[in-house]
Structure 1
């Protein structure tokens, strides 16, 4: 089997722990355990047996996740090691060699890469930047054939922070339903919407909708490595068969904490913290771009990142590496999404870190015409 290097993850794994200013993350600055848990809850960690739990996730945790969705039970949920494992299990269990899938781009290209590796025919439909990263429903309709098994979208979008309006989402679901294909939403940024209410999940809106999500991004808890899949019970059971061949189970400590933070009031408090950080930093970045006219962007509507275009005589990968080497600032080049001329900037960091990183980016750009 041939598999492409996942360049986005490789850049981050190589450099994110070596730079003084990491603006490559798409989440929100994480909690410490002391900040997150009460003294009683911290003490409760000492009573947890460090053994194997349920391979599909602790019953109580699956029930807490199911409660985030409409009319779901724990049998329609599987707990995974981050949403990355959830995406991996989705493709492994649902897609066979020769199947077609439609990936809406730009996107976190894990599903794209893994589907290609197992022999699927991957088609892409690009969001339209000229209209604020809108969906091209006509193009998606043209791409779907009788061999199409799955349409997948990252919603809210990585890297643009875009959200579909209700008409676009209804149109996408209508295409999937008429062609009787699965519709997958990578919803790990769901809950971080900055200008309105949290939308309903694709898993709630369509009978063959499947959602992956987790605690890493909007919930600011990436170190727990808790993710999940939600969908029809039969399809979720199929993913469980594949999980038996991968990680077996998730951490007992993480599952305990995950159950606590998904209690409704606690979840809303965490999301409120995330939104406060992201709104303040989005305003900071907007002001900075107004002062640096070589950059432009559509302000993100959700998530911990902004996709910023720039005008300079240097490609995005070369620019990102030179910025890291000369200024100690790590950003992601648009090349990792197949879109040169862009940088992905994390806006979930502490304000002082973002300010310092942006100052250095502005200085660095002065050498390029």
Structure 2
């Protein structure tokens, strides 16, 4: 199994040494610092693994179920703590898919599933979200795409990278589409908790017996560096298969990641952090929306949730060429081109990062570049 690089990561590798001064692309909330957690850390904490469960700290798994709205629906042993949502997706996809199996993915969407499916030799079907429909997932297209050969469906909710939300009814309908052919259904929820006008959508693990919810503390809580996420699934065999695969890769979770994530997800602390993240996100998204409305060469459908969205470039402009011009002197501002999601005429706009992103500076520089190109 040879895993080939996807465009998003390739672009990040190419630009890591550019030393930008401003960012219009941060995809996570402002990160806390270690000092914020010191009062709750035990200085005698062993730096061995947690010593209690291969599934992750029981307290952390309880927090995950609470915030996913799955208390009383799923059991603590239905949760496996992983090295971020990326590992959770990896474990599920690699254990479920074999060569020749069929997987259905969405585009634009998180590219990891397609990369892994190609490496496994699976057959890939794509359901296209359309900008003209405000990036809604076309359920009729999904229904038409499934077949008796469909082994797995992979979606994101909120959608990564457009921020479009699936409704409760959407999720129920999707579960029925999967159930009709016995397909597994992964819904990556890394941006859950940052809904701007609606309540958090229900997790698929509570709606479907073959539903797999993945998530992490990376985006809403800004704790990407902890590499702590989870998989939730009511099927015990799937969870055990994932534990077995992880035993032969990352083996066990890092104790600091588990411990800090558990502290961060304690009910009062989590609620306070999410309230701050939502307030900051709303303020920044309003600024971005106003900025885009003033630019003749930009348009977008604002995200319904999460911290990123896709903006269309007008005229002849190409997203990758534009991103490289903006990164170079004198602008020295980073954003991700839409080509990372096979949307070459778009750029990804991010509202995360807090003050360190220097977003207003970056927007001024982007406006200057747009004026020179217009």
> Within the alignment, does 1:29 sit opposite 2:30 as a pair?
yes
The aligned counterpart of 1:358 is 363
Regions of 4+ moved over 6 Å: none
Matches within 5 A, 1:286-305: 286-305=289-308
Tell me what 1:94 maps to.
Answer: 96
1:25-51 per-residue CA deviation (whole Å, 9 max, x = no partner) reads 3111111122x33x5314x2x221111
Conservation of the 8 A alpha-carbon contact between 2:84 and 2:216: yes
1:325 to partner: Cα distance: 1.0
1-structure distance, mates of 2:172, 2:142: 13
Task: Find out whether 1:187 has 2:184 as its counterpart.
Answer: no
Alignment partner, residue 6 of structure 1: 6
Question: Once the two structures are superposed, what CA deviation does each residue of 1:203-248 show, in whole Å capped at 9, x if it has no partner?
Answer: 1122211011000001211111101100022211111111011111
TM-align CA RMSD: 1.7
Q: CA deviation at 1:122?
A: 1.0
Q: CA deviation at 1:299?
A: 0.9
Q: In 1, are the aligned partners of 2:25 and 2:351 still within 8 Å (CA)? A: no
Structure 2 contact 97–151 (Cα < 8 Å) conserved: yes
Instruction: Judge conservation of contact 1:186–1:211 (CA < 8 Å) in 2.
Output: yes
Structure 1 residue 2 displacement after superposition: 3.7
SS for the counterpart of 2:372 is: coil
Contact kept, 8 Å, 2:81 with 2:231, in 1: the verdict is: yes
Spell out the pairing of 1:206-217 with structure 2 (5 A cutoff): 206-217=208-219
Q: Does 1:262 align with 2:265?
A: yes
Q: What residue number does 2:352 align with?
A: 348
Q: What aligned pairs does 1:271-310 form with structure 2 within 5 A after superposition?
A: 271-310=274-313
Cα distance in structure 1, aligned partners of 2:65 and 2:292: 41
TM-score by length of 2: 0.93
Deviation at 1:259, TM superposition (A): 1.2
List per-residue Cα deviations over 1:303-341 (Å, max 9, x = no partner). Answer: 111211111423211111111013111111111111111
Secondary structure of 1:366's counterpart equals helix
- Structure 1: segments with no counterpart, 5+ residues: none
SS of equivalent to 2:367: helix
Task: Summarize the alignment of residues 103-122 of structure 1 with structure 2, pairs less than 5 Å apart.
Answer: 103-122=105-124
* 1:284-304, Cα deviation, whole Å (9 max, x unpaired): 001101211211111111111
Q: Which runs of 5+ in 2 are unaligned?
A: none
Are the equivalent residues in 1 in contact too, given 2:106–2:155 (CA < 8 A)?
yes
Name the residue aligned to 2:15.
15
Structure 1 length-normalised TM:
0.94
